[in-house]
């Protein structure tokens, strides 16, 4: 066919118009014998979110795959290394630092939980070109994706002494700022220029960051999750973190990453994810599923978007003997007009956008803005000789 990538995009779009029949298991698999620009064929898993969160479902998928260079070996997932303790001696300064850290965690948690409750009651994001209208959970979704080099992200990470999450968040802030500024430029009849600052003076734009609260981070072995008394359990074990996005036109592109690092570092010193999870669990046990659903809907509908980042295999894997070219997880059915997910795989990072076209009519432009922002940030690192 003339445009297989467009056919694939439209196929997924039409899938999002339908739901899975309750009379059958809540998942289905669509196999398209379709050669696209990135693959020889496409497999689309559609799984109801009630069966598990992203960690559970990706663990299930990876349990069905094997390494291409070893047909019996399961995929390898990178594990964060624990820092070695420098000394067992506890001096006065170390005691003071620990006390200051505990105080920060306590204060940040109180503030974050207050903001979560305020959002559930009344606090909403300001209207912006990315915020969906009421009822957007029922609209079909256009799911678009781009693949960038994971080495480029690691290059920026190493040069700026940050993390991959910081760089992903920073380039997303930069891309959203470019996109919104372009929309505001068109509205002001400025011809769509992105160099001039046409943004409103104040924008409250927050994302729900989905955080895995299991004691062991990252993707888990499926057999371990299925054990009856397993420490790392199957299901939906995610907490919400309200992540503020700074929408601004900056002269120095690296400021997007610096700002992202400051925000994420502050969120790391908070127990917000655990508290929001247990607030929802408390509402479910005390008032029932309808009250818990209403609480979740209010928080989600009063923020602008959803953001997540998941780590994937570090070597090429195969599904039923067929090598996989990329992974592109996403979701639909939530009251968002925009969901952004980063998924790593070998030396690639796939950026997946799930978009309500009624709110964001040009999702490809938005996706390109995020990808181009990474290149601009990388060029800035090279220009300043930070590498």
Residue 195 pLDDT exceeds 80 = no
Residues with Cβ within 8 Å of residue 258, at least 6 apart in sequence: 160, 170
At residue 181 the predicted structure's pLDDT band, cuts being 50, 70 and 90, is: very high
Task: Report d(CA 157, CA 170) in Å as an integer.
Answer: 11
pLDDT at 31 over 80: yes
What is d(CA 125, CA 10) in angstroms, rounded to the nearest whole number?
31
Does residue 45 carry a pLDDT above 70? yes
User: Token pair 């996109």 is at which residue?
Assistant: 179
% of the chain at pLDDT higher than 70: 89
Provide the residue count of the chain: 387
pLDDT band at 237 (very low <50, low <70, confident <90, very high): confident
For every residue of 132-172, which 3-state class applies, written as one string? CCCCHHHCCCEEEEEEEEHHHHHHHHHHHCCCHHHHHHHHH
Tokens of 367: 């996706």
pLDDT at 220 over 80: no
Does 273 fall in a domain?
A: yes
pLDDT level of residue 228 (50, 70, 90 thresholds) = low
The verdict on whether 364 is a catalytic residue reads: no
When pLDDT is averaged across residues 125-143 and rounded to a whole number, the result is 92
Is residue 28, in this structure, part of any structural domain at all? Answer: no
Does residue 304 sit within a domain? yes
Name the most confidently modeled range: 109-123, 180-194, 209-223: 109-123
- DSSP-based three-state secondary structure for 342: strand
Please check whether residue 48 lies inside any domain of the structure.
no
pLDDT at 34: 93
Give domain status of residue 49, yes or no. Answer: no
Q: Does residue 223 belong to any structural domain of this protein?
A: yes
Asked if 337 and 355 count as a contact pair (C-beta separation under 8 A), the reply is yes
Least confident interval from 39-53, 151-165, 254-268, 355-369: 39-53
For position 367, which CATH number holds? Answer: 3.30.559.30
What contacts 193, CB < 8 A, 6 or more positions away? Answer: 182, 185
Q: What CA dihedral angle connects 326, 311, 226 and 67, to 10 degrees?
A: 50
Q: What is the DSSP letter of 162?
A: -
Whole-number Å distance between alpha carbons of 387 and 372: 19
- Residue 334 CA to residue 54 CA, distance in Å, equals 15
Residue 289 scores a pLDDT above 90: no
Q: Residue 231 — pLDDT band, cuts 50, 70, 90?
A: low
Q: What is the pTM of this model?
A: 0.90
Note the pLDDT tens digit of each residue in 354-374.
Answer: 999 999 999 999 999 999 999
Residue 44 has pLDDT above 60, yes or no: yes
In angstroms, the CA 256 to CA 374 distance is 10
Closest CA to 314 of 280, 349, 338, 359: 349
The pLDDT assigned to 246 comes to 93
- Write down the residue that tokens 């009344």 correspond to: 122
Residue 219 pLDDT greater than 70, yes or no: no
Distance CA 32, CA 9 (A): 12
Per-residue pLDDT of 47-100, as tens digits, reads 998 888 888 888 888 888 999 998 888 888 776 665 555 555 567 888 888 899
Residue 46 has which token pair?
A: 């559609």
Asked whether 270 and 109 are in contact (CB, 8 A), the reply is: yes
Q: Which entry of 49, 297, 322, 364 is annotated as an active-site residue?
A: 49
Q: Of 314, 311, 305, which is closest to residue 343 (Cα–Cα)?
A: 311
Average pLDDT, integer, range 226-249? 80
The tokens describing 178, both together, are 């470019």
Strands 205-212 and 238-245: antiparallel
38 within a domain of the structure (yes/no)? no
- How confident is the model at residue 94, as a pLDDT? 83
Q: Give the domain extent around 297.
A: 100-188+197-315+329-384
Q: Could you give the number of structural domains in the chain?
A: 1
360 within some domain: yes
Measured CA angle at 189 (ends 184, 190), to 5 deg: 75
Give the model's pLDDT for residue 63.
85
Q: How confident is the model at residue 163 (pLDDT cuts 50, 70, 90)?
A: very high
Q: Taking Cα atoms as reference points, which of 302, 338, 304, 114 lies closest to residue 206?
A: 304
């Amino acid at each position: 066919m003339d445009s297989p990538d467009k056919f694939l995009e439209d196929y997924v779009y039409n899938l999002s118009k339908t739901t899975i029949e309750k009379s059958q298991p809540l998942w289905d698999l669509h196999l398209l014998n379709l050669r696209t620009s990135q693959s020889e064929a496409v497999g689309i898993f559609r799984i109801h979110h009630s069966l598990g969160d992203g960690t559970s479902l990706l663990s299930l998928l990876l349990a069905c795959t094997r390494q291409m260079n070893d047909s019996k070996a399961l995929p390898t997932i990178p594990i964060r290394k624990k820092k070695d303790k420098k000394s067992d001696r506890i001096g006065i300064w170390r005691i003071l630092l620990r006390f200051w850290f505990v105080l920060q965690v306590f204060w940040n948690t109180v503030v974050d939980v207050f903001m979560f409750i305020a959002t559930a009651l009344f606090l909403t994001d300001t209207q912006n070109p990315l915020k969906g209208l009421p009822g957007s959970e029922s609209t079909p979704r256009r799911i678009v994706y781009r693949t960038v080099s994971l080495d480029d992200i690691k290059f920026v990470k190493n040069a700026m002494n940050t993390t991959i999450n910081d760089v992903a968040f920073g380039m997303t802030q930069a891309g959203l700022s470019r996109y919104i500024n372009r929309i505001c430029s068109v509205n002001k009849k400025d011809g769509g220029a992105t160099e001039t600052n046409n943004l409103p003076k104040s924008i409250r734009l927050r994302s729900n960051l989905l955080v895995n609260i299991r004691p062991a981070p990252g993707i888990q072995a499926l057999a371990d999750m299925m054990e009856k008394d397993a420490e790392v359990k199957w299901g939906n074990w995610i907490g919400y973190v309200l992540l503020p996005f700074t929408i601004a036109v900056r002269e120095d592109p690296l400021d997007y990453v610096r700002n992202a690092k400051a925000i994420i570092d502050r969120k790391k010193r908070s127990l917000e994810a655990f508290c929001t999870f247990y607030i929802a669990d408390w509402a479910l046990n005390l008032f029932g599923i309808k009250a818990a659903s209403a609480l979740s809907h209010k928080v989600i509908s009063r923020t602008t978007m959803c953001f997540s980042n998941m780590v994937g295999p570090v070597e090429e894997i195969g599904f039923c003997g067929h090598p996989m070219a990329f992974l592109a997880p996403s979701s639909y059915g939530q009251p968002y007009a925009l969901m952004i997910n980063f998924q790593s795989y070998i030396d690639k990072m796939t950026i997946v956008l799930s978009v309500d076209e009624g709110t964001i009519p040009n999702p490809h432009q938005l996706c390109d803005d995020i990808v181009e922002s990474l290149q601009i940030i990388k060029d800035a690192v090279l220009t300043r000789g930070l590498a």
